[in-house]
């Protein structure tokens, strides 16, 4: 879906790192911060209802979140076994340890599932910026940067004639607009 960058194209504007990652860690859309992206904890909506980002940006997109989930679960299990070995001087109650580790191995990946998805989406968006048209223009950093540049340009141009807020706005009528014909008035004596 990502379009190739051709010579002369403006470089893509990246999302801000800190807010994007905070949104990822708090189950929010990394682009716009919308919450409620999951049904019954594990069913993620296909698109963000606000900015319209399609979360599965490319085929195989979720391998990243699966990797995060696997690594965190494995490290947690390893830590659990290590702590048990240290605390019991290398003589842990094997059935208890096996029971606890099995429960953790089943429950933890499910608990982590939605977090790894939004975290991975944030990481992916920071490493592979949004392509044109991938989200609603109101949330596209490229569009926002262009608007800000345009506003700055207007402000600079308006410096000579006073404040930069002299935009005439849509209420200005053009003087050369045709007026309704007077002949339609009834019986003008
Ligand atoms: Zn969004």
Distance 37 CA to ligand 1 centre (A): 9
Per residue in 118-146, pLDDT (tens digit) is 999 999 999 999 998 999 999 999 888 88
Q: Rounded to whole angstroms, how far apart are CA atoms 148 and 183? A: 49
Of 54, 4, 1, 20, which is closest to residue 141 (Cα–Cα)?
Answer: 20
Spatial contact of 41 and 110, defined as CB atoms under 8 Å apart: yes
Ligand 1 centroid, distance to 47 Cα (angstroms): 8
Residues with CB under 5 Å of ion ligand 1 are: 29, 31-32, 34, 48, 50-51
From ligand 1's centre to the CA of 3, what distance in Å? Answer: 20
Between CA 150 and CA 159 the distance in angstroms is 14
Q: What are the tens digits of pLDDT across the range 39-88?
A: 999 999 999 999 999 999 999 999 999 999 999 999 999 999 999 999 99
Closest CA to 28 of 37, 19, 16: 37
Report which of 115, 128, 117 is spatially closest to residue 15, judged by C-alpha positions.
Answer: 128
Please give the residue that has the higher pLDDT: either 180 or 129.
129
Q: Give residues with Cβ within 8 angstroms of 128, minimum separation 6.
A: 2, 57
Q: How many CB atoms lie within 10 A of CB 56?
A: 14
Q: List the single range of 24-28, 142-146, 151-155, 184-188 with lowest mean pLDDT.
A: 184-188
What is the Cα–Cα distance from 118 to 180, expressed in whole angstroms? 58
More confident residue, 180 or 54: 54
Task: Please report the pLDDT score of residue 9 as a whole number.
Answer: 63
pLDDT of res. 188: 43
Residue boundaries of the structural domains of the chain = 17-143
Ligand 1 centre to CA of 181 (Å) is 51
Query: What share of the chain in percent tops pLDDT 70?
Result: 78
Q: What is the pLDDT of residue 160?
A: 52
Task: Please count the CA atoms within 13 angstroms of the CA of 125 that sit on its side-chain side.
Answer: 30
Burial class for 65, CB neighbours closer than 10 Å (0-12, 13-18, 19+) = buried
Torsion of CA 49, 12, 16, 153, to 10 degrees: -100
Q: What is the DSSP letter of 45?
A: -
Task: Tell how far the Cα of 54 is from the centroid of ligand 1, in angstroms.
Answer: 9
């Amino acid at each position: 879906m990502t379009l190739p960058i051709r010579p002369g194209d403006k470089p893509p504007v990246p999302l801000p790192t800190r807010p994007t990652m905070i949104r990822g860690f708090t189950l929010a859309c990394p682009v716009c911060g919308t919450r409620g992206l999951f049904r019954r904890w594990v069913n993620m909506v296909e698109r963000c209802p606000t900015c319209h980002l399609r979360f599965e940006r490319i085929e195989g997109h979720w391998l990243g979140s699966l990797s995060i989930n696997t690594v965190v679960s494995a490290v947690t299990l390893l830590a659990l076994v290590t702590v048990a070995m240290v605390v019991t001087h290398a003589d842990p109650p094997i059935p208890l340890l096996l029971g606890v580790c099995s429960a953790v191995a089943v429950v933890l990946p499910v608990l982590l599932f939605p977090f790894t998805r939004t975290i991975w989406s944030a990481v992916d968006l920071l490493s592979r910026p949004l392509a044109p048209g991938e989200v609603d223009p109101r949330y596209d950093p490229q569009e926002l940067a262009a608007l800000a540049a345009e506003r700055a340009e207007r402000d600079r141009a308006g410096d000579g004639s006073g404040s930069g807020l002299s935009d005439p706005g849509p209420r200005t009528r053009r003087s050369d607009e045709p007026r309704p014909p007077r002949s339609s008035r009834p019986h003008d004596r």
